[in-house]
Chain A
Amino acid sequence: MAHPYLFWLAGAVLLVGAGVLTALLPHRRAREEQRRTARSAARAAIDSAAVSRDAARGRVPEAERLLTRAESLVGGRGGADAARAAAGHARQADRLWRQHR
């Protein structure tokens, strides 16, 4: 060993590194999972809304606008919040189309 102090320094760096890693990694993983879940939910809602649109009589511009917004939100690289907003828009569009049957 070059110098006894290096030993302690290396140990301290390892400790801090491990601590940061164990704090950061699960956090990032949870966020990633949330994002994917929200996108999955949003996509499901958009697909449902698309089905409702095809089944609706006539056009509902309000619903179409909402669905377009939802699709652009999901298409972008947004996070969980954007995906949740997209899901909200899609559900609302879905509701509008169902009312126009």
Chain B
Amino acid sequence: MSARGYRRWAEPLRWTVLGVAVLVLVVFLVAQRQSIDVSYGRSPASSSGVDTDTAGASDQATVPSVTEMTALVAAAPVVRLPGAVASWNEERVRAVAGDTRILVAPPGLDKDERARVRDVENATIRVVGTEVSGGLYQASADTLPGWRAQFATGDVTDLLLTLITTLRKEPAPADRDELRWREPSGPELTAVLTDLRATGRHVAPGATLTDIPETAARNAFPDGAWYVALPPHRFGEPLPRYGPALSARFPDQPVVVMYGLWIEYHGPGAADFAELAGASFYGQFAGVLSRADYPQRNVLGVYLHRVTDIRYAGLFERPLPYRPADPLRVALPALPWLFAGCVAAFLILSARSLRRPDRGLGRRRDTAPVRLAGLTALAVEMSLLTDAGSNPALTRGIVTLQAARSAWEEKLPARHVRTLLDEAAAELDDTARQVGIASYRPDNYLRGRLS
């Protein structure tokens, strides 16, 4: 490629490369302002939990005054206030109870009412809803069967046993899952199925589920799910096993079954996340749920948010909804390399542009040496013929020739060398005219030499 052609593309390329580098640098600097986001797939679940203090307080639930309650507790070892839901295996409790006095209050008390229950000093153990406390202690379940017993049937046997033995500094007996199941009868199942087919949900009499929280349900189960809401069962009453029965008939259908405030998931992926969802949900909210009186709808909403979070967490390789890639985030790792490449290209091109144009002999079409030699020879020839009149012109010509020679040797611009040669030629021309020999005029002489 010729030098001119090279220049034609190298210069624009050089500045383009510089522009790209600056652009990349600016993008990098701007990207520094982005916040760091560690979420793996952004879960649309709202993170609002359950309001702990006032929500879930029921208007109907109330307790008598402290004096009245103290009197009641003094009169009987176990006092059940109206609306109390907790129950237990009396045989097992009696075996360890001794003179323990138990006060059972309904769930959904507000703060003052709970304080009143706490102020009944002769009650060894207070049960508010299914929250069991006594002295400085509070017993709480920490396994799925424990929570299931507590929220599906109001069973607090294990909690009571744990608390009583702890207060007496005795070893606590092992937990025992006393929940019993039964297969739903044919007509029961048919009725539930009819409802589910029609509306996607079955609300049994006594259940407090009014409707399904729609956004939460859509996020948790985009393909839709069936919801079966049953009221809390009495302790000892076997629970109908709707979940497995429905899953057996419709294996691809997610089914959510509520027994009171206990929520179970059955259906596709149950083995992967049902336990995790239940454990994380009840692990976080069991304390609040046990003393409050929430409608099933609210609890279901929070549970569905939890399911959504787990789904979006990308655990268990459940497919995530499509999220378009952020081009900036995709490009960021490449930016340093792009920048480095641009800098390197700019440096190389700059270095090339700095390199001196090659003035090596033969590369350039330089007529100066030929002309210089010719004129010098002419001056030498003429020096034999000059007289006093023509001598100064010849001398000036020779002096100028010397200047031209040193200029050429110092690689000064060709134009300058040419100018000096022109001046020298003019002086020699003068000399030739004064000498009177036309063939010594530089134009003629040089033409003769070259031919």
Q: Any chain A CB within 8 A of the CB of B44?
A: no
Given the known interface contacts A33-B412, A51-B395, A52-B396, the answer about A44 and B346 at a Cβ–Cβ threshold of 8 Å is: no
Q: Any chain B CB within 8 A of the CB of A26?
A: yes
Contact of B346 (CB < 8 Å), options: A7, A18, A41, A47: A18
Whether B21 lies near A15 (C-beta < 8 A) is: yes
Whether B412 lies near A40 (C-beta < 8 A) is: yes
Whether B406 lies near A40 (C-beta < 8 A) is: yes
Q: Tell me whether chain A's interface is mostly helix, strand or loop, or mixed.
A: helix
- Say how far A25's CB is from chain B's closest CB, in angstroms: 6
Q: Which residues of B contact A22 (CB under 8 A)?
A: 350, 353-354
Whether A44 lies near B391 (C-beta < 8 A) is: no
Bound-state CA distance A44–B404 (Å) is 8
Q: Which residues of A contact B391 (CB under 8 A)?
A: 55
Bound-state CA distance A9–B88 (Å) is 72
Q: Any chain A CB within 8 A of the CB of B203?
A: no
Bound-state CA distance A55–B354 (Å) is 48
Apart from A22-B354, A26-B354, A55-B392, list 14 A-B contacts with CB within 8 A.
Answer: A11-B339, A14-B343, A25-B354, A40-B407, A40-B416, A41-B416, A41-B419, A41-B420, A44-B407, A48-B400, A50-B399, A51-B395, A54-B392, A55-B391
**Which residues 13-32 in A have Cβ within 8 Å of B in the complex?**
14-15, 18-19, 21-22, 25-26, 29
**How many positions in chain A have a CB within 8 Å of any CB in the partner chain?**
28
Q: Which residues of B contact A15 (CB under 8 A)?
A: 18, 21-22, 343, 346
Closest to A43 in B: B403
- Say how far B279's CB is from chain A's closest CB, in angstroms: 41
Closest to A22 in B: B350
Q: Which residues of B contact A54 (CB under 8 A)?
A: 392
Whether A51 lies near B18 (C-beta < 8 A) is: no
Whether B423 lies near A21 (C-beta < 8 A) is: no
Closest to B404 in A: A44
Closest to B14 in A: A22
- Say how far B393's CB is from chain A's closest CB, in angstroms: 9
Q: Any chain B CB within 8 A of the CB of A36?
A: yes
Q: Any chain A CB within 8 A of the CB of B221?
A: no
Q: Which residues of A contact B419 (CB under 8 A)?
A: 41
Bound-state CA distance A25–B355 (Å) is 10
Q: Any chain B CB within 8 A of the CB of A12?
A: yes
Whether B399 lies near A51 (C-beta < 8 A) is: yes
**Which residues 360-402 in B have Cβ within 8 Å of A in the complex?**
391-392, 395-396, 399-400, 402
- Say how far B26's CB is from chain A's closest CB, in angstroms: 11
Give 9 closest A-B pairs by Cβ, nearest first: A44-B403, A55-B392, A47-B399, A22-B350, A18-B350, A51-B395, A37-B416, A48-B396, A11-B343
Q: Tell me whether chain B's interface is mostly helix, strand or loop, or mixed.
A: helix
Bound-state CA distance A33–B412 (Å) is 7
Q: Which residues of B contact A40 (CB under 8 A)?
A: 403, 406-407, 410, 412, 416, 420
- Say how far A91's CB is from chain B's closest CB, in angstroms: 10
Whether B399 lies near A11 (C-beta < 8 A) is: no
Bound-state CA distance A7–B395 (Å) is 65
Interface size band for B: 20 to 34
Q: Which residues of A contact B353 (CB under 8 A)?
A: 22, 26
**Which residues 37-93 in A have Cβ within 8 Å of B in the complex?**
37, 40-41, 43-44, 47-48, 50-52, 54-55
Q: Which residues of A contact B410 (CB under 8 A)?
A: 36, 40
Q: Any chain A CB within 8 A of the CB of B273?
A: no
Whether A8 lies near B395 (C-beta < 8 A) is: no
Bound-state CA distance A68–B391 (Å) is 24
Q: Which residues of B contact A33 (CB under 8 A)?
A: 412-413
Bound-state CA distance A37–B414 (Å) is 10
Bound-state CA distance A41–B406 (Å) is 11
Closest to B424 in A: A44
5 pairs from A and B in contact (CB 8 Å cutoff): A8-B25, A14-B347, A40-B410, A48-B396, A52-B392
Q: Which residues of B contact A55 (CB under 8 A)?
A: 391-392, 395
Bound-state CA distance A50–B399 (Å) is 10
Q: Any chain A CB within 8 A of the CB of B244?
A: no
Closest to A10 in B: B343
Contact of A19 (CB < 8 Å), options: B340, B350, B399: B350
Q: Any chain A CB within 8 A of the CB of B336?
A: yes
Whether A47 lies near B403 (C-beta < 8 A) is: yes
Whether B18 lies near A19 (C-beta < 8 A) is: yes
Whether A44 lies near B354 (C-beta < 8 A) is: no
0/1 per residue, B16-50, Cβ < 8 Å to A? 00100110010010000000000000000000000
0/1 per residue, B328-366, Cβ < 8 Å to A? 000000001001100100110010011010000000000
Closest to A4 in B: B336
Q: Which residues of B contact A36 (CB under 8 A)?
A: 410, 412
Whether A21 lies near B336 (C-beta < 8 A) is: no
- Say how far B431's CB is from chain A's closest CB, in angstroms: 12
Whether B339 lies near A8 (C-beta < 8 A) is: yes
